[in-house]
Chain A
């Protein structure tokens, strides 16, 4: 387990989109998957998690449907909509761009300037 990371603005939403792009999940499942993929390094605040889910649903990027969970309980499963897929693609591209640029700047050595 590495260092704990706090998420910057908007990142949680992108992570949720990414998490369900691999297959539909219920809320708790999304949380677990993000933590699992990040190697338990992300601390997601409970308060902001569902707010993010609700917002994504309002924008029509994810759609919820009621289904059965592993232990036979009713749970709401979210899947990515077409608009959500587009959004994820755009966001991901933007993030990697930002990450590249910032990494590039940070790795600059004094003699290169």
Chain B
């Protein structure tokens, strides 16, 4: 009650200041008049009465202030005055203000961007309800707990899994690639089917129209034939047009079968809803008629159930699933239920480099704050006279400190406003440069927590850089300062602290430059990696038909060759090969075992094993090192022949001739047969003969060692799908429609054409993306740090020169040359720059091991350190030169006359 009244009172006093003031004065005037009247009534002469009343009661015009003090607004008024005074001061010195605000904007912007990024990709990634209790089941070999894998369930298994008492609810998701028929031809789309509980499970509201709802049904229910679009697909395909609702999507061939019904678009999901992909659109599970559907399960744990408890509870169930169909499970495994985010954090090297990114941002923030401290110290020294005067007429040290801190807060808050703007663009950069390194739900956004972070950082920064100068200036030596006639003599103590700050800035800048140099050279080195193959204008396609369409091995080979010949006949296609091996590969694949016949059994002998035809090596221009490759005829007959790469020879057959040896491939053959492959009549055992050795090709991801590789004649095992690798004239993407059409004509029932060429796959390689991202981020950090440090250095030198103009005038008048003056100014600064660099070097060496661990593959070589040091020293000296030259150009008679 009392608080409310107080707030009302304050609001009136602040919002209607002049009216309240007038009323207070009127009231008091009335009081004076009434008192005077009484005096007159007591017989005092009117003029004398008025005089006595005024003497007794005081002035009316200060009553307003007394009112404000009485209601407790004094501090507010004072701070408001400080604020206005501070603003006026900033406007009077626009150069100082701009330098300080921009320094802070840059460093706060970087810090906020870093926070927004972490917020978007780690802290608050998922828009789904209770995403902290939502878990994915994974399996792992207890010997290698970090090498885990997801698995999928068939329909019956999903029902069993769903019934576990550990779960509050289980959502099923199945992914399909389908061919969309559109006005401008066909295109491939990723479609995700969700069980009917999707809406209550995820609780995400659609952007427009409606989302999936329970009445849309599960498998076996009547199909409503609807689709809900994903945001990105909606933007790409329909230009974000809201009138898309009610339109139909039509399919041609696809996994849904020939009789797939057209579906009506009923809604669009928001940007962050990207479950399962991001897919192009969602359908209810009732529309899936494919019997072999594979379901990914998301389970929401009951409240109070830990993932460990639930894992133990479902483990026997999953082992039972593995007995039914062992293909997806390791021989020995345990089940673990893990939160959604673990799928990202466990496998992301970016997460591992976060500490160093934070360190860099913190350093940048320190440099920015040091800049502001420098500027404030410089300006504060120029204001000593003002502070002395204020102290002389009664300002307390507290009042002076507060005045200075309020000014700092003005600077830092203005800086943080600009910084938030800047951060919005900066934070999106990583997602644009490396979209496949982050969860697809990540969308950088400025929200309350980001703003709060920025304001906290700005306030902390303001205090950090402002408090020290403020404390220094709060006890001015009044008599000394006021007696001084001139303000143009240098004070030694001020210079020392300025030099320390500059030195610190240069040291931190050096550390950032060294890391950035390492990151950039590391990336350049990576882009120059010798791939061992020629990825230009090469792409990949698959044409497939249901297993029942070609029942014998000979039928399949004939069909595959027919498709290959059809594609080879497309004008502009230079060469085609049937191959399922696509370099540069990825680092974290598990590989099947093999056995060199005649060698002692070795369980740990594993190698990449890929089926290719003889043309593979010519299409990708992989040279043969020794032996030969099977002929066209040998290939067609499906003879059990293979070639290996040099890495294989180095690892498994270093001191003998591998040519002619036989390798037993039991594991991969079993796997292939279980997935529907047919053996050639010539390949009755599991053994192939090595007839050649090819040169190494990057096959385990960029920047990684080449893995042992066995290339097997593709016709020994043929699958229902035919994989095709082709080189075209010009960009392969222009052949997409023709390829699709040709494969369809050649009898393929479902068709996949890679969206990316092999060249683009190199640039989508995880290491490539990550190293580019680190190079760009640290490049930005280093440039920002350098710019900040130079601004700081420049302003310090300029300020010191201005302080010493008189001294320079006298020196020149006494016979110093301009060169002497130039050297005088440069001398101390060069000393500061050199010692700053030296400290930076030491710091760099201290963090070097850590930063190399965090940023894999970016060594900081001595050459790099020297390069960074030379660059920093040169640029810093250049920054000093201009003010130093101005000092040298001092006109002695002007300066001495001015005195």
Contacts and interface: CB of A to CB of B under 8 A. Distances in A.
Interface in B38-70: 56-58, 63, 66-67, 69-70
Interface string B1-45: 110111011000000000000010011101101110100000000
B71 interface: yes
Contact of B6 (A31, A50, A58, A66): A58
B23 A76 contact: yes
A16 to B, nearest CB: 13
Interface in B368-406: none
Contact of B70 (A26, A50, A83): A50
A51 interface: yes
A45 to B, nearest CB: 11
A69 interface: yes
Contacts of B34: 26, 28, 69
B27 A58 contact: no
A110 to B, nearest CB: 46
Interface string A54-69: 1101111000001001
A108 interface: no
Interface in A66-90: 66, 69, 71, 73-76, 83
- Give the secondary structure class of B's interface: helix
A60 B63 contact: no
A27 B60 CA distance: 14
A46 interface: yes
A60 B10 CA distance: 12
Contacts of A54: 66-67, 70-71
Contacts of A83: 1-2, 5
B72 interface: yes
A9 to B, nearest CB: 15
B27 A76 contact: yes
A42 B288 CA distance: 95
Contacts of A69: 30, 34
B71 A27 contact: no
A27 B58 CA distance: 15
A50 B66 contact: yes
Contact of A27 (B6, B27, B56, B66): B27
A59 B2 CA distance: 5
Given A50-B70, A51-B70, A54-B71, A75 B30 contact: yes
Interface in B97-128: none
Nearest to B68: A54
A60 B9 CA distance: 9
Contact of B1 (A27, A57, A58, A60): A60
Interface string B769-792: 000000000000000000000000
Given A50-B70, A58-B5, A58-B9, A26 B30 contact: yes
Contact of B30 (A28, A31, A46, A59): A28
Contacts of B1: 60, 83
Contacts of B23: 66, 76
Interface centre among B33, B63, B67, B70 (most CB of A within 10 A): B70
A45 B181 CA distance: 93
Nearest to B56: A46
Contact of A46 (B2, B5, B58, B72): B58
Given A28-B35, A57-B9, A76-B23, A50 B63 contact: yes
Contacts of B63: 50
Nearest to B35: A28
Given A27-B31, A28-B35, A76-B23, A58 B4 contact: no
Contact of B57 (A46, A73, A74, A76): A46
Given A51-B70, A55-B71, A73 B2 contact: no
A89 B28 CA distance: 29
A66 B26 CA distance: 11
B30 A60 contact: no
Interface centre among B9, B58, B69 (most CB of A within 10 A): B9
A20 B4 CA distance: 22
Contacts of A74: 26, 30
Contacts of A71: 37
A66 B23 CA distance: 9
B51 to A, nearest CB: 16
A50 B28 contact: yes
Contacts of A60: 1-2, 4-6, 8-9
A76 B34 CA distance: 13
A18 B72 CA distance: 24
A55 B70 contact: yes
B70 A58 contact: yes
Given A27-B28, A50-B28, A57-B9, 14 more contacts: A27-B30, A27-B31, A46-B58, A50-B63, A55-B70, A58-B72, A59-B2, A59-B6, A60-B2, A71-B37, A73-B33, A74-B30, A75-B30, A76-B26
What 4 pairs between A and B have smallest CB-CB spacing? A60-B5, A54-B70, A28-B34, A51-B70
17 contacts: A27-B30, A27-B31, A31-B31, A46-B56, A46-B57, A46-B58, A50-B28, A51-B69, A51-B70, A54-B66, A57-B71, A58-B70, A59-B6, A60-B9, A66-B23, A73-B33, A76-B23
